[in-house]
Structure 1
Amino acid sequence: MPMPLVAPAPSSNRRAGAIFRRKFGHDLQKLLKYLFAAGTISMPIAAIGLAVIFKLGHATSFPPEDPHIGWVENPKTRGTLNIISVCLSTIFACAYVSVHIGLPGEKDGFIKPLLHKCNWLLANVFAPELMVLIALCERWSASSGVAFMQSLGVEGWTMRLAFFADMGGFKVRFSNGETKAFSSGLEFYEWFSSRLRIPGPLELDFKEVELDIKDRSKRDGVLKVFACLQAVWLLIQTVARFAQHLPVTELEVTSCAYVLCALVVYSCWLHKPYGVQRRYIIHLNSEFAVDGSGRTSPNIKLPIALFPKTNCSIFNGSYENPDKAILICNLLSCLVGTLTSTALVIPFWDAQFVNSNGQWIWRACSLTQVSLSFVFAFIALVEHWEHPSILLMFQLSMVLLYDISRATLFALICMSFASQPAGVYRDVQWIFGAIPHWN
């Protein structure tokens, strides 16, 4: 006899995310406020600490064979403003295009979604590794959704539709005018699997649905292509400078680190709709109620949402195996963070700043960024520890330390333009002059 549809319910304190669930329950908005507060507090701490340390130091004396100069007006080649504008525009383009927020609530106005996107844009600029983690988790969730729909025998359900469902993109409208919007993919999958057990046809062409979603997000491809072209050009130019032994600014290498993170995010969200503002409405007859009963289905396990009651779409993704998914995504994001942080350590280990204390501050903060990636990976491995409060406090303190070191590095990058090697402003000598490039 066919078994009824069941959803596994392992102990919530033994699943991935237990360290946060025990402390915050499903109110993860409070956790986001704590993280935002840590980032805000870190900036004045970094500014005051940097000012005190530089006060204790002295001006750096550079050898005659390696002259350093300050601000350089834009000549026919490279200038200070040119370097800054190219790097900042690349960072902004990568950060802006890589922010794929969910659909706004039906009662949300214009301001709330705009503030929501601005918040994630700031998070992407300050901690691109966080966006890598979110993108990896969301891709895993979408893959689980595709696997679930395939297990139901549904044809035409793609990664794009799974992403759209996780964004809260579907809504049902009955003939009596009542509607039901699904805030997450799990809600939609629960309803859809129940609907299949109700006698009567369900005429829904998923290929047509996907075409409709693509039509709503046409600008997605244009913006991503533009951002990728600008990012790849910056990577090529930076690699060429290293190959020709020309000095490279800290800002350029930092921008390349953002580019690498953005490319990982783009690859994860390749099929995720961008800029879609309204839901796709599924029209049904009113007699086909959601909680009705009909023909039975095989014993199919629904995906599991780690925090199903939260309103944040990034936390209510559904997974076939949450523990495995979150652990692997955490480790991969930590690996990306380690690689990008190492990119700042190796080229600029001997970098000199206008103040004698600048070099060791740069080294300390860069090594802190690298080491904390390993710390966060270790926490992901032992989050089922029986003392979650201690582990949570330790993790939040490490987040604050991470934010302080990141803010200090940003400050040093800005100050570095007061004294750059003269070779920084020499152009790359391209092998073929016909290769298109801009300065």
Structure 2
Amino acid sequence: MLILFILVHLFTKNGSAVPVARPLDHRSPADSCDDINSCRKLFDIVWGCVATIFACTWVSVHPNVPPPNQSWLALFWRRLKMMLVGIIAPEIMVGFAARQFLGAQTLSKEYGFSMTHGFFFCMGGFVSSTGYPVAWLTQLEEPELGSEFLKGIQKIRAKEIADKSKGDALSKGVALAQGIWFTTQCLARVHQHLAVTELEVATLAFAVVNVFIWLLWWYKPLDVQLPIIVGPPTPVDTQPITPAQKPRFDRFIDSIVGYLEGDYHPLSSTSVPSFWSPPMSGNFQFGTMGITALAGTVFGAIHCAAWNTDFPTTAEMRIWRSSSVVIVTVPVVLFLDALLGFNLEGETEFILGETGLAFALTIAEMVFYGSSLMYIAARLILIVLPVAELRSLLPPVFMDVDWSAYIPHI
């Protein structure tokens, strides 16, 4: 309802809001763009943003190994859904990548895996001869099959795993070049005191946050479709586990904060969930939350960079500013709230008592859900506003960068 109200307000022609005054530091005092050689069109603005968002998110998304015997359409839809998540909530993808990165590091330290082996393990790339994933650390420590799984994984060379990746230097280079070019254009416009649209600011935020994902998933194979069989050809008989189906909302929360013990059983499926990463220790969770909070804060800070840009109405300016502040502060609040929740366990019950501990946990839970709802609303607003702003762009927006100013003249 909030988004609908904002849309109705923005597209109402007889709105009472007053246009925001244009800053006085534009390159040219003229309010028109008459020279076609020094101007850009609305299509150029939109196409540059769309191309950058698509290039960044499509290449940065590294899905887990899918279930067997899926059609190309199912594989495409699976990756497209992850891409949409990366566009709507890139912080979730950063958290997912951080969990798998720290998981791969843990496997590298404890079992001598390479980072490529660790990522392949976390993404469900290893399966037993009967087809169930080998994706839990406890599976490597089983008295009957653990050593066999471990030996089988260690025998596989990192090059063999990397050979399954569909990504190469060219595809990543094209996406990186598009992101760098777009960022350079934005910086040049700021340097030459040219107006930057809110859509370009939002796109720049996507490009920067996707750098986090690229770095975290640097060694993760891209778009692997078939797993590698490890372990003995005839494993010990195991009784498949049929876990209770969790509600959709709980599965959504698992995809954000990570899976806990009992949330998923490898023996019950032929592939890991789309946002699966092996559960790790408390320090692992703190690291994941810290990286996610950092990415979310950076994402919001870039939106705050448009604090003094041109807005069609004062109402839009205030909505943008307040929403930007929300997405800057909420990741930090959620991180501190999670730390508080972890610290409330253990000896805290002895200090606060059972009633006091229950009250403190209730407050922490209310802060978590309340902040999350505020964050979701702010993110939706910052998706709608840049598009709505295109209906009323001021003339200075269409002035193009004078690249000749950066060419040395003798």
Aligned residues with identical type, % of pairs: 24
1:204-259 CA-partner distances (Å, limit 9, x unpaired):
58475422222221434432221111111111221222222222222222212111
**What secondary structure, in the 3-state scheme, does the structure 2 residue paired with 1:239 have?**
helix
Bigger relative CO (Cα 8 Å, ≥ 6 apart): 1
* Secondary structure, aligned partner of 2:385: helix
Q: Is the 8 A contact 2:65 2:227 kept in 1?
A: yes
Pair 1:165–1:202, CA change in 2 (3 A): closer
Q: CA RMSD in A?
A: 3.4
Is 1:47 paired with 2:4? yes
Deviates more, 1:421-430 or 1:334-343: 421-430
Q: Corresponding residue for 2:386?
A: 413
Give, in whole Å, the separation in 2 of the partners of 1:204 and 1:61. 65
Q: Is the 8 A contact 1:142 1:163 kept in 2?
A: yes
AA at the equivalent of 2:123: M
1:110-161 CA distance string (max 9 Å, x none) = 55544432322211101111211111111001111111213xxxxxx31111
User: Is 2:303 the partner of 1:344?
Assistant: yes
CA 1:404–1:203 in structure 2 vs 1: closer, same or farther (change >3 Å)? closer
SS of alignment partner, residue 229 of structure 2? strand
Stretches of structure 2 lacking an aligned partner (at least 5 in a row): 239-257, 265-271, 345-356
Aligned mates of 2:8, 2:172 — CA distance in 1: 39
Using the alignment, how far apart are the partners of 1:398 and 1:202 within structure 2?
42
One-letter amino acid of the structure 2 residue matched with residue 159 of structure 1: M
1:172 to 116, 128, 147: 128
When residues 134 and 149 of structure 1 are mapped into structure 2, their CA distance, relative to the original with a 3 A threshold, is same
- Distance, in Å, in 1 between the alignment partners of 2:150 and 2:103 is 25
Would you say the 8 A contact 1:124–1:131 is kept in 2?
yes
The residue type equivalent to 2:297 in the other structure is T
Mapped to 2, the partners of 1:340 and 1:194 lie a distance apart of: 47
Aligned residue for 2:314? 356
Partners of 1:73 and 1:207 in 2: how far apart? 65
- Structure 1 residue 123 corresponds to structure 2 residue 77: no
Q: How does 1:186-225 map to 2 (within 5 A)?
A: 186=137, 188-190=139-141, 194-195=144-145, 204=152, 206=154, 208-225=156-173
**Structure 1 unaligned runs (5+)?**
1-43, 151-156, 174-178, 292-303, 435-439
Distance 1:189 1:61, change over 3 A: closer
What is the match of residue 145 of structure 1?
A: 107
Question: Is the CA contact (8 Å cut-off) linking 1:306 and 1:315 kept in structure 2?
Answer: no
Contact kept? 1:248, 1:424, Cα under 8 Å: no
Q: TM-score, normalised by structure 1?
A: 0.72
Match of 1:403 in 2: 376
For 1:365, the equivalent position in structure 2 comes to 323
Aligned length: 360
Q: State the partner residue of 2:133.
A: 182
Tell me which of 134, 137, 159 is aligned to 2:115.
Answer: 159
